[in-house]
Amino acid sequence: MKFQLAVNMERIDDSLDMQDVARHTLGMVHIAEEGGFDIVWSAEHHALEMTIAPNPFQLLTWWSTETSRIRLGTAVATAAYWHPINLAGEAAFTDLISGGRLEFGIGSGAYQREFDRMKPGLKQSDAWRYMQEMLPAVRALWQGDYAHDGEFWQFPTSTSVPKPLQNDLPVWVAARSPITYDFAIRNKCNVNCWPLTRPFAEAELYKQHFDDAIAKADNDWQPRFALMRHACVYDNETDRQTALNAIRTVLSQFENLFRNAGDVHNGFPASVPLDQLEGREQYDPAMLEENLMFGSPETVIEKLKRYQALGVNEYIYYASMGLDHASQQKSLRMFCNEVMPEFS
């Protein structure tokens, strides 16, 4: 099993200094590289302090100058917010500067709130159409001169400047629905997925979509399949409670965004009161601890082996969950030192 890290610059409130947040994020990348992680992923989000990532390629270019081995991925570039020429060039430049370490991840986007600001009038449920037009155009621009006359973009003959350093730059698609799995495998992309806080059955469903798409495509493509879960390794009750409190606070802010409630001030989403979430399985502490990659090193190893048996050959450790910086780094080091050797 290979291991990947998803980490964000994040602030739950304005008590944290932005420079400290940046230093912490880079520190997590260093721990991951030293610990043997294969890829570190940066997100794209806009006007939200809980995920400070207005351009994932800026983050990756920064990390590339501070690392030497770990590969650098976008999880994900949101297709509808870009122009194909711009996206192709930004990605290729990052690949060049990083010495050929880019993993290009593309997706449809998550929050209607962001679409209302970045692409007014577009429903999140329709954004997959932009992604499916964008990716072939970007790949064509990486190859050379290309003109495009599509539904969403039109441009005369152009090309990506620069070109990627890698001849066959790895592409990943963030997938949940069967139509996206089919598109990814048909276009010879790797797949990453996120079952959110849902039970193991959700991961089984995604793996079935993945297998069905491979059978349907029948194109001899052997894709990589990575699954992401929020993660926290702990070895005492205090750290356990700290982790559960942190993830519930973050999830209450996510609930605000998913509802598009509009209660966001200076980039900080208000929390939906937890007493309004009681009885909802995805916020119950016991269910969170069971479904997420939470627990002692031994518990986390047991959970990972279950995913490995399912056919998940790569695991994305999602570190950002509102936890204090010291606890995040302690957990990641424990994962590197006490969990990963079991899978080497």
Distance CA 254, CA 260 (A): 10
For residue 61, pLDDT over 90 is answered with yes
Give the burial class of 48: count Cβ atoms within 10 A of its Cβ; 0-12 exposed, 13-18 middle, 19 or more buried: buried
| Residue in the structure block whose two tokens are 């986007």 | 109
* Confidence at residue 20, expressed as pLDDT on a 0 to 100 scale: 98
Stretch 257-277: mean pLDDT, rounded? Answer: 83
* Confidence at residue 173, expressed as pLDDT on a 0 to 100 scale: 98
* Confidence at residue 278, expressed as pLDDT on a 0 to 100 scale: 61
Work out the pLDDT band at 279, boundaries 50, 70, 90.
Answer: low
Work out the pLDDT band at 283, boundaries 50, 70, 90.
Answer: confident
Angle at 218 between CA 217 and CA 219, to 5 degrees: 90
Other CB atoms within a 10 A radius of the CB of residue 205 amount to: 15
Stretch 217-243: mean pLDDT, rounded? Answer: 98
Distance CA 314, CA 308 (A): 8
Of 54-58, 137-141, 142-146, 274-278, which gets the smallest average pLDDT? 274-278
Stretch 257-270: mean pLDDT, rounded? Answer: 88
Of 63-72, 177-186, 252-261, 293-302, which gets the smallest average pLDDT? 252-261
From the list 270, 278, 285, the residue with the least C-alpha distance to 232 is: 285
* Confidence at residue 255, expressed as pLDDT on a 0 to 100 scale: 84
* Confidence at residue 274, expressed as pLDDT on a 0 to 100 scale: 67
For residue 10, pLDDT over 90 is answered with yes
Work out the pLDDT band at 254, boundaries 50, 70, 90.
Answer: confident
Return the beta strands (E) in the chain as ranges.
2-6, 39-42, 71-74, 77-78, 102-107, 146-149, 154-158, 171-174, 190-193, 225-233, 264-265, 268-269, 293-295, 314-318
Q: Which helix (H) or strand (E) holds 24?
A: helix 18-35
* Confidence at residue 277, expressed as pLDDT on a 0 to 100 scale: 63
Q: Is 41 helix (H, G, I), strand (E, B) or coil?
A: strand
For residue 333, pLDDT over 90 is answered with yes
* Confidence at residue 271, expressed as pLDDT on a 0 to 100 scale: 86
